[in-house]
Structure 1
Amino acid sequence: MFHAYPTDAWTATPKPGFTSSLSAEDFKAVFRGHPGGVAVITADAGDGPVALTASSVSSVSAEPPLLIFSISALSSASDVLSRAETVVVHFLDANDVELAKLGAARGIDRFADTHRWSRLVTGEPVYRDVRAWVRCAVIDRMDAGTSTVIAAHALQSHIERDAHAGGPGDALVYHNRTWHRLGAHSRIEG
């Protein structure tokens, strides 16, 4: 059954003539069954580094190289990410699950372990030994309900562990409120 209703300008307010929308609980239930790749996003707008774990990172365009992600207004990193001119998006695999958990934890200093991270020559905080990272310039922000969608232009990248084309890789995904490793065992031939 189709439950979506058009809304005005990406807000939570239904267009005139529509009196209801999907409840928050129903919406969350739909997405619990939809796995997402896991990334940690870092930034520093001059007040010190912030980090958060996100499963909303998506490729938009290869030429120019653009990606998007969203952040909740409730995130402790949202203020800095609303002002940062650049971000580093760390693309994680199963070897990086501890970093994913660190970025998702509440009320802790995600940069207390100084051996785990450094700064790029351009100043952005970057975690070491992750599968890959991309330094990006923020090109646009859009309020969407209780979140902000951020569009970014990829400027620089580093790949520590490459997933070979057609190979199983060692991907980390978030599904139904838990972390999962994708590999040869989860591959479906078709």
Structure 2
Amino acid sequence: MPVARPAPEAPSSEEEPATGAVDADGFRRALAVHAAGVVIITAQSDGIPVGLTATSFSSVSLDPPLVSFYVDQSSTTWPWLRDADHFAVNVLASDQADLAARFARKDIDRFAEPTRWRPGPLGAPLLQDVSAHLVCLPHETVDVGDHILVVGLVAEARVHSPGRPLIYHQGRFGRFIAHP
């Protein structure tokens, strides 16, 4: 005699598969719960220092040493960065939220006071008091959606202070607190 099996439970609304286009606001809210480290990408183009804040920084490969970040295709800083023969990744420390906000703003001289920096070994601006610097040679760029993936070959890596990093989470900068 066949055994009666209970009907499967209907999936909760959280488990239902997506059936249409993703809502832009919902997508942004979902991405906002992911915490990301904060860096400032700097370069010198035609003798002018340029830079921008990025939260999309990532390691790519150890051999060869590659890192990446994404930049919005509408960025007014990107054409200057693209033309540079190298760039620096400045890994921000937890007390550098003001610096991150400064390099995220438009229509200001990001390198004027109170920004403190010096030219790096190849000329790219290196911001002072950051946790680490990575000096990179352009390796590859790829158009991806409304952004550009930038991959750099690391030519130099220096750790200055391995303290707490600056984190970006839910539209705000914050600090990392380790579990006891």
Shorter-chain TM-score category?
Answer: 0.7 to 0.9
Separation in structure 1 between the aligned mates of residue 102 and residue 87 of structure 2, nearest angstrom: 18
Q: In the alignment, is residue 85 of structure 1 matched against residue 91 of structure 2? A: no
Percent identical among aligned pairs is 31
Separation in structure 1 between the aligned mates of residue 24 and residue 83 of structure 2, nearest angstrom: 28
* SS of the residue 1:75 aligns to: coil
Separation in structure 1 between the aligned mates of residue 90 and residue 18 of structure 2, nearest angstrom: 34
Matches within 5 A, 1:137-156: 137-156=137-156
CA RMSD of aligned residues (A): 2.0
Separation in structure 2 between the aligned mates of residue 143 and residue 3 of structure 1, nearest angstrom: 26
Question: What TM-score do you get using the length of structure 1 for normalisation?
Answer: 0.79
Q: In the alignment, is residue 136 of structure 1 matched against residue 136 of structure 2? A: yes
Separation in structure 2 between the aligned mates of residue 22 and residue 48 of structure 1, nearest angstrom: 40
* SS of the residue 2:82 aligns to: helix
User: Offset at 1:135?
Assistant: 0.2
Gaps of 5+ in 2: 1-15
Deviating more after overlay: 108-117 vs 46-55: 108-117
Match of 1:179?
173
Letter of the structure 2 residue corresponding to residue 59 of structure 1: S
Q: Verify the 8 A CA contact 1:171 1:183 in the aligned structure 2.
A: no
User: Offset at 1:66?
Assistant: 0.6
Distance of aligned partners of 1:78 and 1:2 in 2 relative to their CA distance in 1, 3 Å threshold: farther
Q: Deviations over 1:63-89 (max 9, x none)?
A: 111111000122221111222221100
Gaps of 5+ in 1: 5-19, 163-168
Q: Verify the 8 A CA contact 2:49 2:111 in the aligned structure 1.
A: yes
Match of 2:103?
103
Question: What TM-score do you get using the length of structure 2 for normalisation?
Answer: 0.83
Deviating more after overlay: 60-69 vs 115-124: 115-124
Q: Verify the 8 A CA contact 1:36 1:175 in the aligned structure 2.
A: yes
* Count of paired positions: 165
Distance of aligned partners of 1:88 and 1:75 in 2 relative to their CA distance in 1, 3 Å threshold: same
Separation in structure 1 between the aligned mates of residue 177 and residue 111 of structure 2, nearest angstrom: 30
Q: Deviations over 1:117-153 (max 9, x none)?
A: 1212311111112111100011100111221100111
